[in-house]
Chains A and B, each alone.
Chain A
Amino acid sequence: MQPNWLPLLHQLLAHWRLAALLVLSGVVVASAGCSQVGGLALAVPGTTQPANFPAMVYGLAKNPPDAATFELGRQLFYDARLSGDGTVSCGSCHRAAAAFAHAGQRLSPGVGGHPGQRNAPALQNLRWRQGFMADGGVLGLELQALAPLTDAHEMNMPLSVALARLNADPGYRQRFAAIYGPGSIDTPQFLRALAQFTAALTSANARYDKYVRHEAGGTLTAPELRGRALFRAKCSHCHATDLFTDESFRNNGLDRTFSQDSGRARITARPTDRGRFKVPSLRNVARTTPYMHDGRFATLAAVLAHYDHGVQPSPTLDPLLHQPNGRLGIALAAPEQAELLAFLNTLTDNEFLTDSRLLPPK
């Protein structure tokens, strides 16, 4: 598989003029490769660093994007044969039009129609994520796919069986072999190919983004701007940066006890982590109904009402939800809620939601 460099090296040593020529032509090839980056950007979404985003966590070099691997990942993402009974794909619960959340579903049905244990989260800007799942239990983007794949409530598929199904399919064998070389499809190949698709799901072109980057089409109305000012004063401690999350785990006062789902404590077993969940991004939030880890709120208005007057006390409630006057939550008058909603709607990124490269392959 590796090109045999030895004869080439000998040639270089024997004919230094030829060597110089080869080096020159190498430069030409390399620069031709560089000009292909433009073509790559067209074929594989999400390969550039948006100017208003922090640095990537899962950088391009970790799994260099290329069109064939991205397309393979796309095929895998939408392939229901990767579930135990062949009825559920990743795309069943993660739909493009909802920023890869499952609009309107509190708990999406997995194999056999059994409901999952948490609300299907949006999949976007995963290159910038520190940990995965509402409890942060999964440590990396490539590993993430294993959780829904093997969960009995979701795709209920042992990894060994998934690999066996892929290896039994001549089409998959051919495509994997073309990328990774001959041999059986193995765990790293499978996870890295899938991650090329999930890493590509980048939302960075909402009207809000164009506003902060001073680009064409980046105009916000007066109520939207007032909403933004309110957001920065009252919400951006947690929904920080232009990713709209600080990646921390916090208890936002949904319940007084957490016997159903202890959140971060499920992973750390620390009492101080009970009821804490990952702060979600708010990108495309108008499209990712319902809300919270269990999908309990059907509308954004219900979410804002919760912060205004629904926050429940518990030992791990986030300190930011304790007001100086002793009340809990974030005081939001009705007009303020309307302005916040107006601002949150500017985070809808139609380019991302309708990107045909992210839809099921034809």
Chain B
Amino acid sequence: MKNCRFATSCLLLTLAIGALLGCKKTPDSQPTVGTVSLELANMAGAKSVALDGTAYATASGETFTVSTLKYYLSNFKFTKSDGSTYAAPGEYHLVDADKASSTAFTISQVPVGDYTGVSFLVGVDSTTTKADPLSLTGDLNPANNMYWAWASGHIFLKLEGTVTSTSKPTALTCHIGGYRAPYSAIVTAAPSFNGSTLPVRADHAPAIRLSADVLKIFDGPTAASHVPLASFTEIMNPSARSVQMAQNYAAGMFSVQYIHAN
């Protein structure tokens, strides 16, 4: 008898699970999320960044070449015209000028709607950068050479090259990172949509194309924030100068080239 009751319970349970699974598949429910594509164009002013020794000039006429350009973008937040926001969880993208596939990526599960703005961290939030190494996979893996082993944290932006406007060419080494006050380099960029709208729909994926202008790392929004290359020594740890450069690139490096509704 007991045996029988047990078997009946099992059967009922199986039926209930089957019914639940079936519900998920019903075709009449409306999808409520879509995907946004992002593309990065690494620029130096009007020119595309090439890692081939081409020299680029800052606003003050100093010149430099780029051999390495890598940076993290994370914590994307999309804003609607009514002020409501959607923060995309778990998005950490390492953009590497030497790796074409890294300059385009998608963010899925964005609620449908018309968005009028976006913001993101240029870097990695402190909670994630301090996480157990087991969770540091993919773009966050310390093996990507964007990690300070001596201070347990990611390098947020790395620009290496040569200053060529000095009488003798000198190494240009900018490793910007750090999440501890007073030299936290965790900065947010919020490039304007310039009145455009990003229409997220279930059936098509709109794209944002961003320009990332490396000159703006040195050319700050004010004269006082300009970083001269002549006196530049390497930056390989958090400092007042590295925070200045982070504020510079947060303010001006990223701009929206266009938004395609697709």
Contacts and interface: CB of A to CB of B under 8 A. Distances in A.
B18 to A, nearest CB: 15
A234 to B, nearest CB: 33
Contacts of B182: 269-270
A133 B145 CA distance: 21
A350 to B, nearest CB: 33
Given A140-B132, A187-B133, A160 B150 contact: no
Interface string B6-30: 1100100000000000000000000
A147 B149 contact: yes
Interface residues of B, number: 26
Contacts of A137: 150-152
A158 B147 CA distance: 10
A147 B145 contact: no
A5 interface: no
Interface string A78-111: 0000000000000000000000000000000000
Given A137-B152, A149-B149, A268-B180, A163 B130 contact: no
B16 to A, nearest CB: 15
B33 to A, nearest CB: 29
The dominant DSSP class at the A interface is helix
Contacts, number: 69
Given A159-B143, A187-B142, A266-B237, A142 B149 contact: no
Please tell me the size bucket of the interface on A.
20 to 34
A146 B142 CA distance: 9
A188 interface: yes
A187 B136 contact: yes
B177 interface: no
13 contacts: A133-B150, A139-B130, A140-B132, A140-B152, A143-B133, A146-B149, A149-B149, A188-B136, A192-B133, A267-B151, A267-B180, A269-B182, A270-B182
Interface of B: 3, 6-7, 10, 130, 132-134, 136-137, 141-145, 147, 149-152, 180, 182-183, 237-239
Interface of A: 13, 16, 133, 137-140, 142-143, 146-147, 149-151, 158-160, 163, 186-188, 191-192, 266-270
